[in-house]
Structure formats: C-alpha cells, structure tokens
Amino acid sequence: MFDEKIILCVSNSYEEKYYFNEDFGSLPKSIRDELKIMCVLYTEEIGGILSLEFEEDGSLEFVVRADEDDFLFDEIGSVLKIKQLREVKKELLESLETYYRVFFLS
C-alpha cells in the first residue's frame, strides 16, 4: 500500500522538541496530551529520539534512534521502558491501532 511508515508522533531529546502528525488531529485532546506526556517523559528519562509509527498492517511500533556518540543514551533502559509502556498503555495503544485501521486503512 505504501512504502513509508506513517508517523503518529516524535519526541526528540537532542532538540527538546515534540512533533504530532496533524493528520491525526481529530483524536481527542486528552489522547494527544497523553501521547505527548508519554513520549516526552520517555526521552527525558532515556534520551534519544522516540517515534510512534504505524506499520502497513496498522500496528503501532515504538521506534528508537540515538546518535552514535550519545554515551548517555540508556539502551537497556529503553527496552525496559518500552515494555513497561506497552503494558501500562495497552488500552490506549490498541485503541490507536483500531482508529488507524478504521479511518486510514479502510
């Protein structure tokens, strides 16, 4: 269907910026705020760049990038934090996947 993944949001600890894809602007403000808090807190704690991206099948993936010379980036903490977020935010993440499949893939 498409070659590039669709980005929902990105938090960048290097530039201290947060980006939300306005294609998803119809999501309730409370959900947009929850995504912002979740992503910014992740990058504050772990470092690097975190993006939430939709795969072709509609699944939502956590994609983490870090500069090669970023010695403060916590790789092990990153894996553990994402696992924790997947558990704690399971309902939110599943709802976002359903929303994407209904409004973008159908």
Judge residue 8's burial from the number of C-beta atoms within 10 Å of its C-beta, 0-12 exposed, 13-18 middle, 19 or more buried.
buried
Residues of the chain with pLDDT below 50 are 1
Average pLDDT, the chain: 95
pLDDT value for 3: 61
Q: DSSP character for 48?
A: S
Residue type present at position 13: S
Largest CA distance in the chain: 43
Global pTM reads 0.93
Where b means 16+ CB within 10 Å and e means fewer, 70-85 reads eeebeeeebeebbeeb
Q: What is the pLDDT of residues 17-38, one digit of tens each?
A: 999 999 999 999 999 999 999 9
